[in-house]
Amino acid sequence: MNLTSDLETWPELYGVPSISRRISIARPPSAPFEDSDVLVLSSRSTLPDSTTVGSVLLYLDLRLSLTITLRSSINQASAGLRYTIPLPESDSSAIARYRWEHIIDSHGSDEPPDEGTIVKRIKEDGSEEEVEIGLGLDPDTGKIGLYEEIWK
């Protein structure tokens, strides 16, 4: 094994690692709520702009049940690669579309593909919020449905 030549083939990484926290999730028409303390750690990206199609980064997504106590449980934990994929042509408000490949997943591998479109919304106070919109498994119904997650 030639470690030097292996390192020379690694892609250059850009930007800085990031930390994101989920503020709420909604499954329209139901109102937004939050039942988990969700933390996502992301690595630097393979492209200067991580919203550019073809960009890849590593992520760790940890979701703990609320309220946090010594008896709190992990609702979900996953880690893997996040790919930036082409935006749907019909959505002009979208900033980026991502696919999360769950290399490690506490729920196993039989879940539907994890993809979401990121949009910016203007709140009533004039500030912006980042919203992830996608289709996902509703744990209460066991059916695939629309979700909206607000991230900070």
At 25 the pLDDT is 97
Tokens for 20, please give them: 């994101």
What range does the domain containing 115 cover? 3-151
Distance CA 61, CA 116 (A): 15
For position 117, what pLDDT does the model report?
96
pLDDT of residue 140: 85
Find where tokens 């579309």 sit.
97
Number of domains in the chain: 1
Residue 53 phi, psi (nearest 5) = -55, 135
Look at residue 42 in the predicted model and tell me its pLDDT.
97
CB 138 within 8 A of CB 111: no
How far apart are alpha carbons 85 and 55 in whole angstroms? 8
Q: According to the model, what pLDDT value does residue 4 have? A: 54
Dist. CA 14–CA 103, nearest whole Å: 22
Which pLDDT value is given to residue 112? 78
d(CA 26, CA 133): 10
Q: What is the pTM of this model?
A: 0.85
Q: Which CATH number belongs to the domain containing residue 43 in this structure?
A: 2.40.128
Mean pLDDT, 10 residues at a time, the chain of 152 residues: 57 91 95 95 94 95 89 90 90 89 88 89 92 90 93 92
Q: Which of 15, 19, 20, 78 has the alpha carbon at shortest distance from 52?
A: 15
**Residue 14 in tokens:** 């850009």
Q: What per-residue confidence (pLDDT) applies to 145?
A: 92
- What's the burial of 44, exposed, middle or buried (CB within 10 Å: 0-12/13-18/19+)? middle
